Amino acid sequence: MSRGRWRDGDGLRRGVYVLPNLITSGSLFAGFHSIASTYNGNFEKAAIGIVVGAILDGLDGRVARMTHTTTRFGVEYDSLADVISFCVAPAFLLYAFALQPLGRKPRLGGRHGHRLPARRPAEQFVLSARHRFV
């Protein structure tokens, strides 16, 4: 089949396979933008990046199913985008916004509570969320 010709049967162009992956790339970019915004201390933009990633993540699967362009690469690429947008970016935002100001070893659990490093909850969030996507 030559480039740009119509596929036999369903009338879709070959380029329609790119559409769900472009939306997934947007979700991945939103996750990276959230991480960069968190690093620069702009927590509002970081939160917006996570929300935009969630919207795009919901959209890419629907587009792939509607156009019948689901591929193995697309499924794996979507999983990668999910890990960045919903594991790494929120954990980094949580650490930078809420936990880093507490210092290296804040008291958790009251006056007689045990001492845990501030980054531990963020690490646990990433690890538990990563197992959901793998």
- 118-134 residue pLDDT tens: 566 666 666 766 556 55
- Would residue 54 count as lying in a domain? yes
Q: Note whether 90 and 37 are within 8 A (CB).
A: no
- Would residue 88 count as lying in a domain? yes
Distance, in Å, from the CA atom of 7 to the CA atom of 14, rounded to the nearest integer, reads: 7
Q: The whole model's pTM is what?
A: 0.70
- Would residue 99 count as lying in a domain? yes
Domain count, the chain: 1
Residues of the domain holding 100: 14-133
More confident position, 110 or 33: 33
- Would residue 5 count as lying in a domain? no
- Would residue 3 count as lying in a domain? no
- Would residue 73 count as lying in a domain? yes
The string of pLDDT tens digits covering residues 3-30 is 555 445 554 556 677 889 999 999 999 9
Does 1 have pLDDT greater than 50? no
- Would residue 4 count as lying in a domain? no
- Would residue 6 count as lying in a domain? no
> 81: left (phi > 0), else alpha (psi -120 to 50), else beta?
alpha
Please report how many Cα atoms fall inside a 13 Å half-sphere around the Cα of residue 20, on the Cβ side: 22
Calculate the average pLDDT of the chain: 79
